[in-house]
Amino acid sequence: MYVVKASGEREEFNAEKIRNTCLRAGASRKLADEIVEEVEKRAYDGITTKKILNLTLRLLRKEPRAATRYDLKRAIMSLGPSGFPFEEFMAETLRNYGYKTTVGKILKGKCISHEVDIVAEKGNKRYLIECKYHNAPGIHTDLKVVMYSYARFLDLDENFDHTWLICNTKCSRDARKYAKCVGLKITSWRYPGKESLEKMIERKKLYPVTILRSVTGFTKDRLFQAKIMLAKDLLDYGLGDLKRVTGLPENMLSKIRKEIRWVI
């Protein structure tokens, strides 16, 4: 039996991937096994991964915390529509890993000036970070993005020790191969292994505010304007202070803070 991915590719149905994802989100082994059994009953040849995702998410609601965490990929895509909030989110994520970060810095290279998405420093190393954001599933970050990132590094190499591409979707095989050849670091969805984007987020519970179902539209915009990108950071404020910096009503903020308990 085959499933159809968002990109249109077909791959063999793998129940173990569903089980592992549920467990990683914090579901009990019992519920993960029940979900796999139910999905296997309802699946058919040609079913889309989106339908499997929605079905799994409905079944996971028996354990709300796991259901929320399972929805991480959608939450990251909801940072858009522009890529700037993703840059801010990644800068804040890196700060939690001990990096000093600056977003949108303009630097003069050998040939032209460049606006660098994130300048990150840790120890005696300085990183040029290019963020590639997609707000729809099924779009891979391809070779030309990696080559473009490396070309910018070559023009700015007097300012940096390393270059680093961070993207919220998967990278193509050629993109990964070229990056490895030239020494460009990639952090993307499901790659590389234990250091992938979702692992980086899950390890320290650095979930974006959009992981919370109550954070949409106007509420999301207000939080972004206040530079609040991580759900856990909402707990650092008292309700009065949070109301002051966001302009949101206390009843809405109370609801958001209660929802955070299902994630953190």
The Cα 161–Cα 125 span in angstroms is 6
The per-residue pLDDT for 110 is 96
Residue pLDDT, tens place only, 87-100: 999 999 999 999 99
Question: How far, in Å, CA of 28 to CA of 63, rounded?
Answer: 8
Strands of 59-212, DSSP E: 100-108, 113-122, 125-132, 162-167, 185-187
DSSP symbols for 31-75: HHHHHHHHHHHH--TTEEHHHHHHHHHHHHTTSHHHHHHHTHHHH
pLDDT in tens, 117-152: 999 999 999 999 999 999 887 889 999 999 999 999
Task: Give me the mean pLDDT over the 226-247 stretch.
Answer: 93
Q: How many residues does the chain have?
A: 264
pLDDT of residue 214: 86
What is the mean pLDDT of the segment spanning 141-164?
A: 96
Q: What per-residue confidence (pLDDT) applies to 161?
A: 96
Q: What is the pLDDT of residue 188?
A: 97
Q: What is the pTM of this model?
A: 0.86
Amino acid at site 52: I
